[in-house]
């Protein structure tokens, strides 16, 4: 069930109370570390929320979502280099970059979305590899050396603050569209597909069309975020923007929070990004990843419906036992 | 085209393919019989390879003999994994997807344990016969590759006859075809599943050693091997042992031939692209069959 606040004005106030301090934050001259940390929290919220459109609502687990992020990053970088764009236009070029990612998603999705369950997961996983290897082997795209982007002619903290705000705007738009979908007929159609695709089709739901639209939309925001991320780092390399680990993290975050709700991926992304940061600060990278692996296992065994559902059930005195795992995927 | 070159790459392709086959058979079996996609399969295979490497380096034990240690060890670990991690999710509605995510976690844990124990340096199995070559006319056969080939062939045949001839193997097949009916006839489903899983993971250990005869390996290598696993299973058909063996050979030959004519980095691209195309055209495998 989607999370429905009782009164919309109330929830708007809560959202503003959260967002306004966040928007002001980078202008108060905080340490760069915290700006970057929040920036990556926003980034993962965008990625997990948009993954949720196809993975959570429609139940098609894409294990290659990093491909769209990387495509967006490369598209922005190439547009900036090729057309010699000014900083403002570079930021705006992330919109067509998202469009390119969405277009590729629609083209790839047309054959791939006919596959179900594990086959879809495998083909998306492979797709991300193919894009990664393809770009790595093409010298015009920077090849194995990567691409450098010219930074803005502004102090570094101002540059970062501007991109921070841009990423926040993208985050707000992605969350808004996720909420809109969860309440719209479109979202109802996607949930019907997740429940039972054949039945949905007999109910006059155009499942193939709906799936492609959802897939394209879920690729659009990661594409935009990729462009902004590239500009933030000022350097991109296929190993960074096509890291398999990002794909996996996105899935884990959405499922950890609870796929199929708009709030779940946000909670999952915020919690896991902070946990990841904390872990990598205090323990060795390998140990941090081992703990991450344990989290994966724990989520699937103990809270197959995500952390939000887990605590809701916990209050009723019912633990997330295996029988409760009907809602997974 | 040079016919000797083609023949030579065909041979090396068959040898590579046999390793893919042994690695993939168990993966296919767990997917088919238990509806569990074990993403950590190749990571277990890599553990087999690392154990062989360590035994070879410290005590000079031949990699093939190291199987006497790694196979029982992996069988035991697999039974534990099955009992404590897989059993809780077998009641889920989407076992396959749940198992994928769960075993992804296991793979991450194994990978990082290997990083901690063996460091990220690439390793090679260097035995006394590594550089020895058997020359037959214009063709030559490298000894380690032949050892890997023989091991894989024996491994696949052992699994095949186990499933066809022994009581336990027949029970495994029965559980694959009709789990409920098999239980009515007195087959202990959870015990059989545990044995299947153990068998699959220990065959991965053996497959890992035959892969190690061919390629250098490091703790991240299992991600690449995983793609080959999916290729083997999807070409060969889920749960089909001989199909997996045949698929392994086909993929090996394709890789072998393309290695001869394409730069290395394009070979992987070709492999992944091939997998995507096969998935789209024939998602349930090129050969249909049963265990």
The tens digit of pLDDT for each residue in B72-84 reads: 999 999 999 988 8
Question: How many other CB atoms are found less than 10 A from the CB of residue B164?
Answer: 12
Contact B240, B32 (CB under 8 A): yes
Contacts B101 to A, Cβ<8 Å: 251-252, 255, 296, 299-300
**What number of helices (H) and strands (E) belong to chain A?**
15, 2
List phi, psi (to 5°) of B136: -120, 100
Is the reported ipTM for this assembly greater than 0.85?
A: no
Contacts A62 to B, Cβ<8 Å: none
Cα–Cα dist A89/B163, whole Å: 64
pLDDT of residue A223: 94
pTM of the full structure: 0.81
Residue of B nearest to A194 (CA): B94
Residues 226-245 of A with CB under 8 A from B: 244
Contacts B107 to A, Cβ<8 Å: 293
Q: What is the DSSP string of B157-204?
A: HHHHHHHHHSHHHHHHHHHHH-HHHHHHTT--HHHHHHHHHHHHHHHH
Contacts B91 to A, Cβ<8 Å: 322-323, 325
Kindly state the average pLDDT of the residues B256-271.
Answer: 79
- CA A1 to chain B, closest CA, distance in angstroms equals 18
Instruction: Name the pLDDT band for B290 (thresholds 50, 70, 90).
Output: very low
pLDDT in tens, B114-170: 988 888 888 887 777 767 777 777 777 777 788 888 888 888 888 888 888 888 888
List phi, psi (to 5°) of A147: -125, 140
Contact B151, B209 (CB under 8 A): yes
pLDDT of residue A111: 86
B278 touching chain A per CB within 8 A: no
Cα–Cα dist A129/A122, whole Å: 11
Contacts B266 to A, Cβ<8 Å: 137
Contact A123, A115 (CB under 8 A): yes
Residue-by-residue pLDDT tens, chain A, 329 positions: 455 555 567 777 888 878 877 877 777 777 878 888 889 899 999 999 999 999 888 888 888 899 999 999 999 888 888 887 777 888 888 899 999 999 999 999 888 888 887 788 888 888 888 888 888 877 777 667 777 877 777 777 788 888 888 999 999 999 999 999 989 988 888 888 888 888 888 887 888 888 999 999 999 999 999 999 988 888 888 888 888 878 888 888 888 887 778 888 998 899 888 888 888 788 787 888 888 888 878 888 887 777 777 777 766 544 444 444 444 44
The answer to whether the Cβ–Cβ distance between B279 and A115 falls below 8 Å is: yes
A300 touching chain B per CB within 8 A: yes
Kindly state the average pLDDT of the residues B10-27.
Answer: 87
Whether B256 has a pLDDT exceeding 50, the answer reads: yes
Mutate: best of B40, B112, B235, partner A, most A CBs <10 A: B112
> What's the token pair of residue A127?
């797709």
Question: How many other CB atoms are found less than 10 A from the CB of residue B268?
Answer: 17
A283 touching chain B per CB within 8 A: no
The answer to whether the Cβ–Cβ distance between A137 and B266 falls below 8 Å is: yes
Rg (CA), chain B: 19
B230 touching chain A per CB within 8 A: yes
Residue-wise burial string across A179-205, b where 16 or more C-beta atoms lie within 10 A, e elsewhere: bebbeeebbbbbbbbbeebeebeeeeb
């Amino acid at each position: 069930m989607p999370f429905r606040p009782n009164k919309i004005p109330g929830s708007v106030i809560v959202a503003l109370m959260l967002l306004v301090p966040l928007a002001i934050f980078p202008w108060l001259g905080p340490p760069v570390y915290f700006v970057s940390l929040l920036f990556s929290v926003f980034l993962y919220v965008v990625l997990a929320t948009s993954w949720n459109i196809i993975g959570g609502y429609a139940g098609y687990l894409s294990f290659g979502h990093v491909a769209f992020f990387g495509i967006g990053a490369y598209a922005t970088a190439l547009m900036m280099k090729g057309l010699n764009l000014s900083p403002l236009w570079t930021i705006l070029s992330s919109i067509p970059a998202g469009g390119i990612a969405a277009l590729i998603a629609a083209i790839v999705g047309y054959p791939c979305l006919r596959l179900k369950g594990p086959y879809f997961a495998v083909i998306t996983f492979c797709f991300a590899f193919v894009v990664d290897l393809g770009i790595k082997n093409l010298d015009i795209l920077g090849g194995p050396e990567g691409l450098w982007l010219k930074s803005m002619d502004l102090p570094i903290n101002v540059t970062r603050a501007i991109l921070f705000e841009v990423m926040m705007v993208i985050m707000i738009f992605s969350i808004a569209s996720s909420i809109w979908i969860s309440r719209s007929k479109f979202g109802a159609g996607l949930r019907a597909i997740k429940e039972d695709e054949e039945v949905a089709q007999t109910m006059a739901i155009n499942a193939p069309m709906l799936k492609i639209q959802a897939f394209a939309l879920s690729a659009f925001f990661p594409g935009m975020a990729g462009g902004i991320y590239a500009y933030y780092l000022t350097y991109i390399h296929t190993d960074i923007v096509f890291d398999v680990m990002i794909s996996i993290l996105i899935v884990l975050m959405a499922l950890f929070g609870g796929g199929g709700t708009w709030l779940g991926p946000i909670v999952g992304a915020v919690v896991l990004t902070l946990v990841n940061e904390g872990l990598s600060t205090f323990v060795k990278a390998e140990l941090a990843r081992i703990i991450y692996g344990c989290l994966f296992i724990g989520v699937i065994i103990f809270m197959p419906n995500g952390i939000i559902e887990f605590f809701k059930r916990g209050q009723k005195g019912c633990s997330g036992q295996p029988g409760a795992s009907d809602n997974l995927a | 085209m040079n016919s000797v070159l083609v023949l030579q790459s065909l041979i090396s392709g068959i040898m590579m393919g046999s390793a893919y086959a042994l690695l993939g058979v168990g993966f296919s079996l767990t997917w088919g019989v238990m509806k569990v996609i074990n993403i950590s399969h190749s990571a277990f295979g890599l553990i087999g390879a690392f154990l062989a490497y360590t035994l070879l380096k410290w005590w000079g034990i031949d990699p093939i003999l190291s199987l006497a240690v790694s196979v029982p060890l992996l069988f035991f670990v697999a039974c534990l994994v099955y009992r404590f991690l897989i059993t809780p999710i077998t009641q889920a509605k989407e076992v396959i997807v749940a198992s994928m995510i769960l075993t992804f976690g296991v793979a991450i844990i194994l990978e990082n344990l290997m990083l901690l124990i063996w460091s990220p340096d690439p390793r090679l199995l260097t035995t006394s016969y590594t550089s020895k070559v058997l020359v037959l006319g214009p063709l030559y056969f490298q000894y380690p590759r032949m050892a890997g080939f023989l091991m894989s062939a024996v491994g696949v045949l052992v699994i095949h006859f186990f499933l066809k001839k022994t009581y336990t193997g027949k029970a495994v097949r029965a559980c694959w075809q009709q789990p409920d009916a098999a239980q009515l006839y007195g087959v202990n489903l959870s015990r059989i599943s545990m044995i299947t899983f153990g068998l699959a993971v220990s065959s991965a250990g053996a497959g890992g050693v035959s892969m190690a005869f061919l390629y250098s390996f490091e703790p991240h290598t299992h991600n690449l091997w995983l793609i080959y696993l999916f290729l083997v299973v999807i070409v060969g058909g889920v749960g089909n042992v001989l199909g997996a063996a045949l698929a392994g050979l086909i993929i090996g030959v394709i890789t072998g031939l393309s290695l001869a004519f394409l730069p290395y980095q394009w070979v992987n691209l070709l492999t992944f692209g091939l997998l995507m195309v096969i998935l789209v055209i024939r998602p349930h495998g090129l050969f249909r069959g049963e265990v």
